[in-house]
């Protein structure tokens, strides 16, 4: 049995939500990057670095999702 399934196209509402999610996640990544430069506490810096890596992974996953669906340019 194949694990690939035919997917239905996203609705206009879903595309808007996806766009908003990518925008928010990307903004969070940029904010976290800028905060890292101002943090001297090692523990806080480690926490922010973890947040940054997670946020970057989310953005990559969302872009991969779009690419797999043929969304965007």
Q: What is the pLDDT of residues 4-63, one digit of tens each?
A: 456 789 999 999 999 999 999 999 999 999 999 999 999 999 999 999 999 999 999 999
Question: Residues near 32 by Cβ (< 8 Å), separated by ≥ 6?
Answer: 48, 51, 52, 55
User: CB neighbours (10 Å) of residue 35?
Assistant: 14
* Sequence ranges of the domains in the chain: 43-72
Angle at 25 between CA 66 and CA 39, to 5 degrees: 145
pTM of the model: 0.81
> Measured on CA atoms in the order 9, 63, 50, 24, is the torsion positive or negative?
negative
Contact 48, 36 (CB under 8 A): yes
Q: What is the pLDDT of residue 1?
A: 42
């Amino acid at each position: 049995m194949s694990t690939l399934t035919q997917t239905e196209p996203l609705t206009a509402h879903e595309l808007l939500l996806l766009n908003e999610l990518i925008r928010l996640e990307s903004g969070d990544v940029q904010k976290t990057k800028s905060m890292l430069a101002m943090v001297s506490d090692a523990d806080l810096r480690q926490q922010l670095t973890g947040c940054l890596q997670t946020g970057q992974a989310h953005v990559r996953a969302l872009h991969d999702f779009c690419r797999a669906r043929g969304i965007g340019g």
